[in-house]
């Protein structure tokens, strides 16, 4: 898949989200395999699970493998 993708993250406190963003220095790197969505509203829904949410977007995605058939959120 090539095109924009989105990742929704949720946090229980403002302190936790600030700590995460402070340590990233304008670069986001995941430590392992992670899930993004082609649908921004799906990411927004996941970001609303807790009190504080964040939606990451990647407008220039160059490669991704769809796995909707094995995802809990198809």
Q: What is the pLDDT of residues 9-42, one digit of tens each?
A: 999 898 988 887 787 666 777 777 788 888 899 9
Residue 18: partners with Cβ closer than 8 Å, 6 or more residues away: none
SS3 44: helix
What's the pTM? 0.72
Q: How confident is the model at residue 1 (pLDDT cuts 50, 70, 90)?
A: confident
């Amino acid at each position: 898949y090539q095109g924009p993708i989105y990742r929704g993250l949720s946090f229980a406190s403002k302190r936790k989200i600030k700590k995460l963003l402070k340590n990233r220095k304008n670069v986001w790197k995941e430590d392992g395999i992670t899930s993004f969505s082609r649908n921004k509203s799906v990411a927004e829904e996941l970001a609303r699970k807790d009190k504080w949410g964040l939606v990451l977007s990647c407008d220039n995605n160059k490669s991704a493998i769809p796995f909707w058939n094995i995802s809990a959120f198809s």
